[in-house]
Amino acid sequence: MRGQAITRSLHALVLACLTLPFGGAALALPPQRVVSINLCTDQLAMLLAAPGQLISISRISHDPNVSVMLEEALAYPINYGQAEEVFRLEPDLVLASAFTSPHTVGLLSRLGIEVAQLPIASNLDDIPRNIREIGHLLGREAAAEELVGQFEADLAQIRAAQPGVRRAALHYANNYTSGVNSLAHEIITAAGFENVAAEAGLSGGGTLPMERLVMLMPDLVISGQPYPGASRSEEVLRHPAMVALRDRHAAGALADAEWVCGTPAVLRAIMRLVMLHDEG
């Protein structure tokens, strides 16, 4: 991943040298019109960009269900992540995720637009890496270092506080949960809980039948937030067996927008879990 990033930066440098008439030793200028088409790159770009540098963010950042930076996000125009509309914004850099549709990325690249794809954060150590990468792409290395420093200090403080004895389970729609090698697992373990899905041998995200989840008897059930409208997929969150599991302890928890992206917001998710841990 880092290799790719360096190659990309080199490409940018070569391009910049070719287009600058008196280029020579001058480094590439930071991009002036940055468009982000992914929720997680939206957040890092909003945290790091210079005033006026970020001109559009993805529609999802205006969705209160998943956006941790809704207030800041409302100040930016939104895009729907389609190649045609992004091209018309005349960006000199597009920020996307590793999971952004390859069609969109390929089309934009063919149109001559620089697209940077940020890898998914699957553990807490990926967060400083991603912050630094966005900082580098935006030419905001100093701001990135400051944010990384703050994040690492806060994380160290939280981690110093906890011994892990109690067991927690993530429970989303369709009995989806997260095992080892996932950001959610790291959030749970950083807060001092054992993740029961990891006990069941799950790696990454996947489904665990409700029967098995009940048999694992977690002390804390962390549920996903239901969307508006109805779905059978989300009915499992209110299933009497899961309600009975949650009722054994006063506290339940909600895995919300703060769990979605590898940004410093995950610290708030960890802190809320730590508080539940201490109460129990």
Partner 1 sequence: MGRALLAGLVGLVALLFTVSLLVGPAGLAPTEALLALIHGNGLAETLVMREIRLPRALLAVLVGSALGLAGAAMQGYLRNPLAEPGLIGVSGSAALGAVIALQTGFAAAHLLALPIAALTGAVVAVLIILALAGPRGGSITLILAGIAVSALAGALTALVLNLSPNPFAAAEIVFWMMGSLQDRSMIHFWIAAPFIALGALLLLTQGRKFDALTLGEDAAASMGVHLGRLRLTLVLGVASMVGAATAVAGAIGFVGLVVPHILRPLVGARPSALLPASALGGAVLVLMADIAVRVILPTRDLKLGVLTAIVGAPLFFHLIYKTRMQGQL
Q: Which spans of this chain sit near partner 1 (rule: CB under 8 A)?
A: 173-175, 207, 209-212, 214-217, 227-236, 239-241, 244-245, 248
Question: In the complex with partner 1, which residue's Cβ is closer, 2 or 248?
Answer: 248
Question: In the complex with partner 1, which residue's Cβ is closer, 210 or 271?
Answer: 210
Question: In the complex with partner 1, which residue's Cβ is closer, 187 or 236?
Answer: 236
Helix (H), strand (E), coil (C) string for the chain: CHHHHHHHHHHHHHHHHHHCCCCCCCCCCCCCCEEECCHHHHHHHHHHCCCCCEEEEEHHHHCCCCCCCHHHHCCCCEECCCHHHHHHCCCCEEEEECCCCHHHHHHHHHCCCCEEEECCCCCCCHHHHHHHHHHHHHCCHHHHHHHHHHHHHHHHHHHHCCCCCEEEEEECHHHEEECECCHHHHHHHHCCEEEHHHHCCCECEEECCHHHHHHHCCCEEEEECCCCCCCHHHHHHHCHHHHHHHHCCCCCEEECHHHCCCCCCHHHHHHHHHHHHHHC
What is the smallest separation between the CB atom of 126 and partner 1, expressed in angstroms?
25
What is the smallest separation between the CB atom of 163 and partner 1, expressed in angstroms?
25
What is the smallest separation between the CB atom of 216 and partner 1, expressed in angstroms?
8
Question: In the complex with partner 1, which residue's Cβ is closer, 165 or 217?
Answer: 217
Residue whose structure tokens are 């210079």: 50
What is the smallest separation between the CB atom of 169 and partner 1, expressed in angstroms?
12
Question: In the complex with partner 1, which residue's Cβ is closer, 99 or 227?
Answer: 227
Question: In the complex with partner 1, which residue's Cβ is closer, 147 or 237?
Answer: 237
Picking from 245, 23, 54, the residue whose alpha carbon sits closest to that of residue 134 is 54
What is the smallest separation between the CB atom of 194 and partner 1, expressed in angstroms?
17
What is the smallest separation between the CB atom of 206 and partner 1, expressed in angstroms?
9
